[in-house]
Structure 1
Amino acid sequence: MRDLHRRHPDAHVRTRHLDWDEARALPEGRIDALVVRTPLPIPGDGLDVTVLYDEPRALLVPAAHRLAGKESVTPGDFAEEPLVACAGMAALWTGFWRLDPRPDGSPAPLGPMLVDTFEDKLEVVADGRAIALVPADDRRATLRDDLATVPVEGVEPCRVVVATRLADANPLVAHFRESAKRFLVRED
């Protein structure tokens, strides 16, 4: 955003953080660009999507959990444990974040409740009622001392993408995409 402000100092540009159930703001025209983790929580039809980088997934567990402190885990290590599921719009991509179905084709055990927000997910895990898969680099999970993250081996990563509406004529949208590719792409 700083790059876009620098290149267009007179343009009205602002950042808006969306909850996971607000992703329809892009196709509905309430926002012009979206940086989001995939799979997309919205239908990809009518969108121009550019992959910025892959991000591994991690297992989120209470700090006292039997898997906390492990160097890494595989889906088999937590196959019988319930994973938090998302309510509402987030249900469209909750299977990806719950490994449902599991690599062997079996359904993932469902946690004791559905959550509406990421913060609610953190609380359910901290209380020991379920575990969760989260983006490995999501700092909201790593800043708490009552939670631990463990890298998960053998699962596909999520992707961080910039999405815009196809054929959007606003030049700021194209410039935002350029800035995102320049400053958000990670070199492995």
Structure 2
Amino acid sequence: MPRRPGLPRAKALLRLAAQAAAQTRAAARPSRIAIGCIANMDLAPAVRELRRHHPDADVRTLTLAWNEARAALLDHRVDAAVTRLPLRTDRLHATVLYDEPRVLLVPRGHRLAGRRSVTLDDIADEPLPRLPDPDWNAFWRIDPRPDGSPAPDGPLIELLEDKLELIAAGQAVAIVSAGLRADGLRPGLTTVPLRGVEPGHVVLATRAGDDDPLMTAFRTYAQTHLGSNVDGEA
């Protein structure tokens, strides 16, 4: 059957019309973004900027558990997550926002409390709580140590509250981020700067390939307005 000369052009016009309709529907939908954040982080400066520049957007913030960011992103419970490394980044995109020193968290009556700083040699025999995530264990327990020796084992814990209870009871010490202010975690705890170890990293994680304009804007504000103001002391 001979092809009608106007048919390809008609099909092209129909495709363009369908694309325009889809773009119109997308533009009519309200913009939404859910931003997750693990405890003891202040998102307010970046979120304020996002709301100021996008007043019609629906911007929600959620608190996540220390190990929840990846699952929350892949389950679409949040669209962005501010969290600490280590983090499995396959299927994700992570932007480092700033570094935080690592410090030693101890009870105020501990033999090392009040020191100007400590090293790994000072805690060679101090038990540290274990975590169910092997990557977090390796980084936050510094296990193995630079000389290849294992970090002393403490109890296995999953919740931050359980870790704080162990430390307050004098059963363990912990290596934590300086961003976790001891005085805001639990009375009776303090931190001591830990020398000779690399810092931790705070990142903004998103799903790979997510180029939503609201997401792009929040990434810019997070990089500009979130930063490390910690000094490693309680």
**TM-score for both structures, normalised by structure 1:** 0.91
**Residue 74 of structure 1 contacts residue 152 of structure 1 at CA under 8 Å; is this kept in 2?**
yes
1:77-96 aligned within 5 A: 77-87=122-132, 90-96=133-139
Q: Are residues 1:74 and 2:115 paired?
A: no
Shift of 1:29: 2.0
2:65 is aligned to: 19
Cα gap change, 1:125/1:180 in structure 2, threshold over 3 Å: closer, same or farther?
same
SS in 2 for 1:20: coil
Looking at CA atoms only, which structure, 1 or 2, has the larger radius of gyration? 2
> Which has more helix, going by share of residues?
2
Structure with greater contact order relative to length (CA < 8 Å, sep ≥ 6) = 1
Q: Are residues 1:4 and 2:50 paired?
A: yes
User: What's the CA shift string for 1:38-80, capped at 9, x where partnerless?
Assistant: 112xx21122211111100000111111000000000000011
1:65 is aligned to: 110
Any stretches of 5+ residues in structure 2 without a counterpart? 1-46
User: What's the CA shift string for 1:148-179, capped at 9, x where partnerless?
Assistant: 10000001110111111121032111111011
SS in 1 for 2:138: helix
- List 4+ stretches of structure 1 deviating above 2 A: 141-145, 185-188
Match of 1:150 among 171, 181, 192: 192
Match of 2:151 among 104, 108, 116: 108
Q: How far apart are the structure 2 equivalents of 1:26 and 1:94? A: 22
1:119 is aligned to: 161
Identity %: 55
**Residue 82 of structure 1 contacts residue 108 of structure 1 at CA under 8 Å; is this kept in 2?**
yes
1:54 is aligned to: 99
**Residue 183 of structure 2 contacts residue 189 of structure 2 at CA under 8 Å; is this kept in 1?**
yes
2:85 is aligned to: 38
Cα gap change, 1:185/1:148 in structure 2, threshold over 3 Å: closer, same or farther?
closer
Moved more, 20-29 or 101-110: 20-29
SS in 1 for 2:62: coil
Q: How far apart are the structure 1 equivalents of 2:142 and 2:229? A: 27
Shift of 1:7: 1.2
SS in 1 for 2:113: coil
Q: Are residues 1:159 and 2:159 paired?
A: no
Q: How far apart are the structure 1 equivalents of 2:228 and 2:188? A: 29
User: What's the CA shift string for 1:111-154, capped at 9, x where partnerless?
Assistant: 1x211211211111000111101101212x23334111000000
Cα gap change, 1:21/1:49 in structure 2, threshold over 3 Å: closer, same or farther?
closer
Moved more, 121-130 or 28-37: 28-37
Q: What one-letter code is carried by the residue in structure 1 that aligns with 2:57?
A: A
Q: How far apart are the structure 1 equivalents of 2:202 and 2:124? A: 26
